[in-house]
Amino acid sequence: MRPPRLVVAALVVLLAGGVAACTGSGHADDRGIPTTSTAPTGVPPQTRALPVYYAADTSAGTRLYREFHAVPVDDPGTTALREMLGAPAIDPDYRTLWPTGVTPRGPVTRDGGEIVVDLTGIGRAPASKAVAALALQQLVYTVQGALQSTDPVRVLVDGQRADQLWGLADISAPVARAEQTSVRSLVQIDAPADGATVGREVIVTGEAAVFEATLPWQVRQGDNVVREGFATTAEGQKFSPYRFTVTLEPGDYVLVVTEDDPSGGAGRAPLTDTKQISVR
């Protein structure tokens, strides 16, 4: 876990007050947070919180989750891609689907309505076509979010076009963003970040696509539920932002946000997201 990045990402997302709005096109709004103030000479460059997508296992199979990383603003597409490929997620529940050693061969560029990503060190193939396809979507969502674009992504391998990646995923044409509800977790906590230290009044923000816009939440200490309630999203059954506040005594907690279960347990288990936090 990298505390400086965690703290910066958590603070800027909190200040945004719900960065996860939906655009008019129905795609998630992955706009980064405004840059930090100009740094003096000799100080690292300005940073901005950008969405980086990872994967986690859920009751609906492996799904994408995002977290915001503070990265330099000079080349957000390439930097976010490097984070996705090589930097471990802040949340230990998340992981990348890409093999170790895959790196950008050059900067992420834009050309004629396409985003161009050139990869090298492709490495060992994922376990299945489904995992390979989701890995591609992890890449697509990350670079599109960094560039604030929904242009399709042309994937090159060592500077060349290819028909397939790992012999499992079609990259003969630019890869479009898949429908969010088919690849993303339906419940996402954006802030606070996992491992964050926060004040007693905890502001929780995120995004969800849930039944009747209803989002149950709990705060737990061990097996004990110390607070619980419901939040509402802006719209039901569509990725929409939510926000709620809970006041806690100092201590360590697990924050849990989950789908409601209108089936009463007859269907799959609800999708959830969790964050460990410390209140001081």
Quote the tokens at residue 213.
């816009």
Give the pLDDT score at 21: 36
SS3 track for 41-107: CCCCCCEEEEEEEEEEEECCEEEEEEEEEEEECCCHHHHHHHHHHHCCCCCCCCECCCCCCCEECCC
Q: What is the per-residue pLDDT across 172-217, written as a single tens digit (0 to 9) for each?
A: 999 999 999 999 999 999 999 999 999 999 999 999 999 999 999 9
Q: How far is CA 232 from the centre of its chain?
A: 20
Give the pLDDT score at 45: 67
User: How many C-beta neighbours within 10 Å does residue 106 have?
Assistant: 13
Quote the tokens at residue 81.
């891609």
Question: Confidence band (pLDDT; 50, 70, 90) for 218?
Answer: very high
Residue 17 has pLDDT above 60, yes or no: no
Q: Domain 187-279: what homologous superfamily?
A: Immunoglobulins (2.60.40.10)
Residue 157 has pLDDT above 90, yes or no: yes
Cα–Cα distance for residue pair 50/275, rounded to 1 Å: 19
Domain regions of the chain by residue span: 32-183, 187-279
User: How many C-beta neighbours within 10 Å does residue 250 have?
Assistant: 9
Give the pLDDT score at 29: 60
Cα–Cα distance for residue pair 62/103, rounded to 1 Å: 23
More confident residue, 154 or 72: 154
Report the pLDDT averaged over residues 241-260: 98
Q: What is the per-residue pLDDT across 24-83, written as a single tens digit (0 to 9) for each?
A: 334 446 754 444 333 444 556 688 999 999 999 999 999 999 999 998 888 999 999 999
Whole-angstrom Cα Rg for the chain: 19
